Structure 1
Amino acid sequence: MSASAEGEAETSYTVLDFDELEGWAEDDHFAALEVFRSTCADMNDPDWRVLCNVASATDDARGFFELLFRPVVIGDGAEPLFTGYFEPELDGAPFRSGRYRYPIYAMPPEARLNRPWLTRRDILKSGVMDGRGLEIAWVDDPVELFFLQIQGSGRVRFPDGRHIRVGYGGSNGHDYRSIGKELVRRGLFTVHQVSAQVIKAWVRNNPMLGEELLLHNNSYVFFREVSEVPAEKGPLGAMNRSITAMRSIAVDPKYTPLGAPVWIEKKGETPLNRLMIAQDTGSAIKGAQRADIFYGTGDEAGRTAGGIKDTGRMVVLMPIQRAYAFAPDWVQ
């Protein structure tokens, strides 16, 4: 079954059986169920709320998913793409100093009212943010701050050993522009050479050109302090709940409901077949077969996440009655 709106690519829905999911029987379904439970109560739709009530009372995780859901491949004509993200840790301070000169900003009220608001260049170069007390913290590295905005959340280490945590607080409303793609367009790297580490190194080795490269991305992300989230838990995702390393993904909510279970079949050097939960979004995560896998917190997670750019397949587990509605002629 397929559907499309005028001017948009056609959306297709293909219902599968669970035995068509590669590696399904070998996964830890209970681990996925626990993550599903952490956010399903926040789903407003009655169908999902009923499933959440059942999830809270069951001990048979695999049976729960197989009995009450059906796997649905949602397509929009674009090639599948999996990337990775993580929660970075930056060095910073609560006040500006010679070392800590780059502010993490809270969102100004006018940015919520005017969409889109000023570009990244305007925000950083016009002085519009000065003297307003919108600085949550100051960090020592503008490149790490840029990538903090891409990740959408992170931790900041203060010199006295304290940490604060920041989460996504809004954006200026401009579309994300990939600086990796811009480096490829300029002929400086090939598509296969570009990674977060390569970009960071190039910007640091070319300070003036690097600053201009970062300004190529008109999108700007603001933050809010979320230090009430316990250190042992993951950062807050788009559902305002902690996300879980290797069980939470960011998706495009136009196609995949936030809170839904999603079966991942990621190819590449590190294949991954796993049931995850759609608990986050991202400005660069657009499309029915587009997902960003959360790899955890810190530098090691960042190195792993930065190397992920793989094809594969994502399959949304939909409530059984909805799956039948997508494909009414499908026979079990």
Structure 2
Amino acid sequence: MRPLDWAEIEGWETEDHAAAWAAFSVTADLFGWAGPTPAPGAEKALFQRFFAPFEIVPAGAAHYTGYYEPELEAARAPDARFCAPLYGPPEGVEPGALWHSRAEIVAGDLLRGREIAYVESALEAFLAQVQGSVRLRLVEGGCLRLGFAGKNGHPYRSIGAELIRRGVAPAGEMTPERIRLWAAENPGEVAGLLAHNPSFVYFRVLDLPADQGPLGAMGRPVTPGRSLAVDPEIVPLGSPVWVECPGVAPGLRIAQDIGSAIKGPGRGDLFFGSGPEAGRKAGAVNHAGRMIVLRRVA
């Protein structure tokens, strides 16, 4: 890590430090923060007093993507329209333990009886697993919030990367919408594409207010535009992180989540919120940028 002066961070002086501190405060106790609570307008000074900026990789070498909480129509019981299940974890299997691959789970119907709800397509169920959370608008009435409850222990493999390898579209055009278009044009090949990723995510029902984000890896709600998924082996969870990424306003994010594909120095996944518009914004992010971690110094 290369130490920086605050003056080397373009945009630091005009950042909304109060909003950043509000997001930091959600998980501050889990981060080990025992410092003072800033008076209104004193947030920047407190960041500068108790933290120091370090560039984690050379400028331009960080890699950012985006994630969001999908909102999908769903039903509690299957029918001709709602036929793709979202599952709870298998019984008797330790969280994170190596279990059957995605292809084996689907072929053997190995999670029968663990269905929570049903969405309209296997691809949307898959994409909800990739995001790790989902809001379900139930046709029976009401909303169901699901969050990450574990996975089968197999490595994550990107279906977008597989379609790029097949020549479906170049990397710069491979978004979730492009994947949906390919699936609509090639319905008979969808199951095989999904099986390319052996990882399988289980869900649990969450009791969350509608105005709160999904739970991150720290067990607290993540904040749109402020929360960031990182590799916790590199960036301690709860850390403030300065993000510079094309197409996204530079600013402070808080490392409050993790992801199967978020590994290594400079890797970050920006949380954009819930619903289709957040999904559009998240899907458009796949850029090199700058990552500066604020490390506690006092």
One fold, TM greater than 0.5? yes
Q: Find the counterpart in structure 2 of residue 10 from structure 1.
A: none
Counterpart amino acid of 1:316?
V
Distance, in Å, in 1 between the alignment partners of 2:248 and 2:104 is 42
Select the residue among 24, 43, 57 that pairs with 1:36.
24
Query: Residues 216-227 of structure 1: matches in 2 within 5 Å?
Result: 216-226=196-206
Structure 1: gaps spanning 5 or more residues: 1-12, 322-332
Residue 178 of structure 2 is aligned with which of 183, 194, 198? 198
SS at structure 2 position matched to 1:302:
helix
Q: Does 1:65 align with 2:37?
A: no
The answer to which of 20-29 and 186-195 deviates more is 186-195
Cα distance in structure 1, aligned partners of 2:109 and 2:282: 34
Report if the CA contact (8 A) 2:226-2:254 is conserved: yes
- AA at the equivalent of 2:136: V
Max radius of gyration: which structure? 1
Q: Structure 1 residue 255 and structure 2 residue 234: aligned? A: yes
Partner deviation per Cα, 1:259-308 (whole Å, 9 max, x = no partner): 110001112xx242101101111101111101111111100111111011
Residue in 2 aligned with 1:237? 216
Instruction: Measure the CA separation in 1 of the matches of 2:45 and 2:208.
Output: 32
CA offset digits 1:198-221 (Å, max 9, x no partner): 011101210111221111000110
Q: Distance in 1 between matches of 2:152 and 2:92?
A: 10
Tell me the secondary structure at the aligned position of residue 25 of structure 1. coil
| The one of 158, 161, 170 aligned to 2:138 | 158
Residue in 2 that maps onto 1:19? 7
How far apart, CA to CA, are the structure 2 residues paired with 1:236 and 1:114? 18
What are the within-5 Å matches in structure 2 for residues 109-258 of structure 1? Answer: 109-112=91-94, 115-130=97-112, 133-226=113-206, 228-258=207-237
Q: In the TM superposition, what is the alpha-carbon distance from 1:74 to its structure 2 partner?
A: 1.9
Match of 2:297 in 1: 320
Q: How many residue pairs end up in the alignment?
A: 297
Closer, same or farther in 2 for the Cα pair 1:236/1:18, shift >3 Å? same
Using structure 2 for the length normalisation, give the TM-score. 0.95
1:92 aligns with 2:71: no
Q: Which amino acid aligns with 2:97?
A: R
State the Cα distance separating 1:70 from its structure 2 match: 0.2
Residue 235 of structure 2 aligns with an amino acid whose one-letter code is T
In the TM superposition, what is the alpha-carbon distance from 1:150 to its structure 2 partner? 0.7
Deviation at 1:102, TM superposition (A): 1.2
* 5+ long unaligned stretches in structure 2: none
* Distance change >3 Å, CA 73–CA 174, structure 1 → 2: same
Q: Distance in 2 between matches of 1:186 and 1:140?
A: 26
Q: Deviations over 1:157-186 (max 9, x none)?
A: 111331000000000011110111111112
Contact 1:76 1:288 in 2 (8 A): no
| 1:310 has 2:292 as partner | no
State the distance in 1 between where 2:185 and 2:45 align: 54
Would you say the 8 A contact 1:252–1:287 is kept in 2? yes
CA 144–153 in structure 1, closer or farther in 2 if over 3 Å, else same: same
Normalising by structure 1, we get a TM-score of 0.86
Q: CA deviation at 1:57?
A: 4.9
SS at match of 1:233: coil
Q: RMSD value over aligned CA atoms?
A: 1.7
Distance (whole Å) between structure 2 residues aligned to residue 129 and residue 255 of structure 1: 34
Identity %: 41
- Rounded to whole Å, the distance in 1 between the matches of 2:172 and 2:33 is 43
The Cα shift of 1:155 comes to 0.5
